[in-house]
Amino acid sequence: MNKIYNPQPETWSTLCKRPTQTFTDVEETVKQIFKEVQTKGDQAIIKYASFFDNVNLEVIQVSAEEIASAKNEISTELKEAIQLAKSNIYNFHQAQKTEKIEIETTIGVTCWQEKRAIQKVGLYIPGGTAPLFSTVLMLAVPAKIAGCKEIVMCTPPDRNGKINPAILYTAELCGVTKLYKVGGIQAIAGMTFGTATIPKVYKIFGPGNQFVTIAKQFASQNGVAIDMPAGPSELLVYADETSNPKFVASDLLSQAEHGKDSQVILVTTNKNLLNDVEEEVYKQLKELPRQEIAQVAINNSKLIYVETEQMALDLINEYGPEHFIVCSKNEDFFVDKIENAGSVFIGNYTPESAGDYASGTNHTLPTNGYSKSYSGVNLDSFLKAMTFQKITQEGIQNIGKAIEVMAEAEGLQAHKNAVTLRLNQK
């Protein structure tokens, strides 16, 4: 682990830099596959499923029978855990519903804002080493609460053409309407253009590797909205002498096991704690099944000592972590003043794992410093705010003159006329 003592503010922008990724090779591949899916539809989907996932698919859509039998393939214990998580996620996202906002800005001029569901959404669930049914919960539950009519999900099958039963069970439980055995670039392209089988959607959600990340960029250039740009997962812990070094180490490791490119940082005002945490990390690391992955991330990780809490806070706001754990005697100071973080975990008994799975908050969060400008996925991600206005004949008399003057000053005579005609109507 890299220990850094008293870094001066002029070095922070370098200290906060994420590894840059170059995508030139990937872009050509993505472009090619998008073009083929757009012109050849399902035929291209099947071709690339064979090419990338080594599977020969005759039917892309998951059948009702496959979903039904998934229920019997997972343990009652896991089903109950998923149901508990779903209930908490449901309650937290349901609480985010907002009422219509209506005001009469001037007498006779009534304006309101209402949120309406995005009608068709696409959820992408990556395959690979871990079956991420937790991500199904995080995306499908708020989509359902929002009232999205069509909730399409794509996830790559294994070599036998099967999808992990926990993913199928969770998708069914959360109200996914259509499920496809398609992964990677071809899945994103399919939901962008639509094929004979896969519906075109209006917004695509979900994490993925660099191929999926670039594919989502292409999707957004082809008229489809995306949840946010993706990047390697991140955790920054601020801890002082009131924290438990064992817990802190376990949190850093839970981030490190995600991938070799995971970003792991400890900031502290206590030098002893810094050393204690380091020692604990190496002790716990030895026991992990994903040790090889975690080791690489830990080698790149940073343990940063700063002299004051204010300094710590400023550095953390400059970094803008995806996940921010704070274990401090002055936790309120950090909680009140943190400006840039995806999700904040407070106190010794609040591990990041809680938010990853079951506390109720969403785990789809902005990485790579995007917490400075992006929200994590929340209920509003599945809704559009629309405005409405209704003006009476009295109302247009009250604001009409101002509109005429402004339209004239902007040189837009027809805008003015639309008001003048109404003002002159007896």
Does 373 sit near a second copy (CB under 8 A)?
yes
The one-letter amino acid at 105: T
Q: Which of 221, 272, 299, 310 binds a second copy (CB under 8 A)?
A: 221
Q: Which is nearer to a second copy, 120 or 181 (CB)?
A: 120
Which residues does 154 contact at the CB level (< 8 Å), separation at least 6?
A: 122, 123, 124, 125, 179, 180, 181, 182, 183, 187, 188, 190, 191, 198
Q: Are 98 and 115 in contact (CB under 8 A)?
A: yes
Angle, alpha carbons 418-422-426 (nearest 5°): 160
Which of 39-47, 154-162, 268-276, 397-405 is the region at the interface with a second copy (rule: CB under 8 A)? Answer: 397-405
Which among 280, 309, 322, 352 is annotated as catalytic? 322
List 203, 233, 309, 311, residue binding a second copy (CB under 8 A): 203
For position 224 contacting a second copy by CB under 8 A, the verdict is yes
**Residue 376 sits in the site that holds a second copy (CB under 8 A):** yes
Residue with Cβ nearer a second copy (68 or 412): 412
Q: Say whether 99 is catalytic.
A: no
Q: Is 323 a catalytic residue?
A: yes
Among 78, 161, 199, 333, binds a second copy (CB under 8 A): 78
Determine if 50 is a binding residue for a second copy (CB under 8 A).
no
Question: Judged by CB under 8 A, does residue 375 bind a second copy?
Answer: yes
Q: Considering the rule CB under 8 A, would residue 411 count as an interface residue with a second copy?
A: yes
Helix (H) or strand (E) holding 393: helix 393-409
Report the C-alpha gap between 287 and 295 in whole angstroms: 12
> Could you please report the per-residue DSSP string of 285-349?
HTT-TTHHHHHHHHHT-EEEE-S-HHHHHHHHHHH--SEEEEE-TTHHHHHHH--S-SEEEESTT
Closer residue to a second copy in complex, CB, 184/369: 369
> What is the sign of the dihedral through the CA atoms of 420, 103, 143 and 203?
positive
Q: What's the one-letter identity of residue 193?
A: F
| Residue 31 binds a second copy, judged by CB under 8 A | no
392 lies in the site for a second copy, by CB under 8 A: yes
Residues 161-200 that bind a second copy (CB under 8 A): 166
For a second copy, which is the closer residue by CB, 68 or 95? 95
Among the listed residues 58, 257, 300, 367, the single contact to a second copy using CB under 8 A:
257
Q: Are strands 343-346 and 323-327 parallel, antiparallel or unpaired?
A: parallel
Structure tokens at 359: 């506390």
Provide the 8-state DSSP code for 7.
-
Which of 4, 67, 117, 296: binder of a second copy (CB under 8 A)?
117
**387 touching a second copy, by CB under 8 A:** yes
Q: Which one, 203 or 302, has the nearer CB to a second copy?
A: 203
Q: Does 95 bind a second copy (CB under 8 A)?
A: yes
**Least gap, CB of 283 to a second copy (angstroms):** 12
* Separation of alpha carbons 15 and 4, rounded Å: 10
When asked if residue 362 is in the footprint of a second copy (CB under 8 A), the reply is yes
Considering the candidates 323, 331, 352, 408, report the single residue annotated as catalytic: 323
Of 49, 55, 134, 151, which lies in the binding site for a second copy, with binding defined by CB under 8 A?
Answer: 134
Secondary structure string (H, E, C) spanning 122-148: EEECCCCCCCCHHHHHHHHHHHHHHCC
Which amino acids are annotated catalytic? 322-323
